[in-house]
A and B are shown apart, each in its own frame.
Chain A
Amino acid sequence: MSGPGSPEPSGTRTDDLLGLLVQAMDKTSQGVVVCNQEGKVVLRNAPARGLMNARDGDLLAEKAVEAALGRSLAGSYHEETLDLYSPARHTLEIRSFPLGDGTPPPGAVALVDDVSELRRLEAVRKDFVANLSHELKTPLGALSLLAETLDGEEDPEVVTRLTSRLGTEARRFSQIVDDLLDLSRIEAGATGTLAPVALSAVIAEAVEGFAEPAQARDIRLDVLLVDHDLYVMANRHDLVSAVANLVDNAIKYSEPGAVVHIGAGQREGRACLWVSDEGIGIPKRDQERIFERFYRVDRARSRWTGGTGLGLAIVRHVAAYHGGDVRVESTEGEGSTFTICLPVADQDQTRG
């Protein structure tokens, strides 16, 4: 093999080298289209053929690339973004350059990138930043307004009420920051070592802190363990937090006198945990979106119940990094069931 910078490997003919280069270009993710001095396309690598195979919107892409090559044959660099809506919505970035130093140039090259996913991620990021600013500004605005109201207030009853409201908003702010840090840690993959954990232990720990708030709202927590020896490989803290999050929501969205069922068992070969309530339910149109960050079905209710809008996003991420998923089944006016399903731990793993 020749060293880097060698003009041509010894014993390789120019035709062979050209063939290798064309094959190498087929392996890149970028579309490459080359034309000669007359504007005739003489090379189109595999990604370019994939992006422009003359169907619907692809035909528009082909025309745009031809136009870009034409401009570069006239000697100029050209760059444009093309939004296509058919057959599927996607965005292409086209850049073209003249080749060589001659005037007119002996040819031109167009580089085509499918930036649809990049654009989608940019939009998600911008959306997240806008939502985050709003979510943080709300409790901060409340703190500012309430503090000014408190200033100079002499009625002890009003002072007590305002102080209590200040505390609520400060806790809301702190909870948003805590949830964001949790989400960020999980998204960054800092999930710690997974160890065998019995689902019965996860449920016991998750439910433990809710006996009092449930009782205060006259809601009964009913725990049903189908299989006591069901183990998963998990970060115990995160899995307990995820289940606790679901139990917390179930209590908040149930009416007094209702029952919240919490259970675990094997389903289709997976270890599943479920939390089921008899609450207000979730409209069909919202069911797919409730796991998005800061998505709330009812903002007013969420404010009164103290939700951050991040709980279910954390649950989804926790389930995902354990190799599982979370699903919701809900009927408006009847209630909702959230089910987390994870791979069952091997017996070898549980023996440690």
Chain B
Amino acid sequence: MRCLQTVGPLAVTNDIELEPTDDLAEGQSYNAVRLIRELAGHDVVICTHGDVVAEILVTLADEDRVDLGPNPRQAKGSVWALEGRDGSFTSARYFPPVVVEPV
């Protein structure tokens, strides 16, 4: 639910359909990694829970030797951009959460 709320505005702005999946639910790390590998090379925005993000990143760092940098982070609302193709990944870049100042 929280994930749908997070990416909902982005989907509306870009006229993209949202696809909920149980593979990205909390505690579904194994399925999440499998899904991410299937999507390697496609332009996709994925939103999931912190523990799943951590598991995906660590798996890619370990199995694909993706460099997460010296002190990997994942603050709430942050984004990791992953690049890859054919089921494996080559790079990962961290974008901290954007702080919107009230007008």
Contacts and interface: CB of A to CB of B under 8 A. Distances in A.
A280 interface: no
A53 interface: no
A142 B58 contact: yes
Interface residues of B, number: 24
A146 B26 contact: no
B24 interface: no
By secondary structure, the B interface counts as: helix
B85 to A, nearest CB: 18
Q: How many A residues touch the partner, as a band? A: 20 to 34
B73 interface: yes
A334 interface: no
B38 interface: no
B58 A149 contact: no
B58 A162 contact: no
A161 B26 contact: yes
Contact of B62 (A138, A144, A145, A161): A138
Contacts of B71: 144
A145 B26 contact: no
User: Is chain A's interface secondary structure helix, strand, loop, or mixed overall?
Assistant: helix
Nearest to B55: A165
Interface string A306-334: 00000000000000000000000000000
Interface in A126-177: 134, 137-138, 141-142, 144-146, 148-149, 152-153, 157-158, 161-162, 165, 169
Interface of A: 134, 137-138, 141-142, 144-146, 148-149, 152-153, 157-158, 161-162, 165, 169, 299-300, 303-304
Interface of B: 26-27, 30, 33, 49-51, 53-55, 57-59, 61-63, 65, 68, 71-76
Lowest 7 CB-CB distances: which A-B pairs, in order? Answer: A149-B50, A145-B54, A142-B58, A138-B62, A299-B63, A141-B72, A146-B54
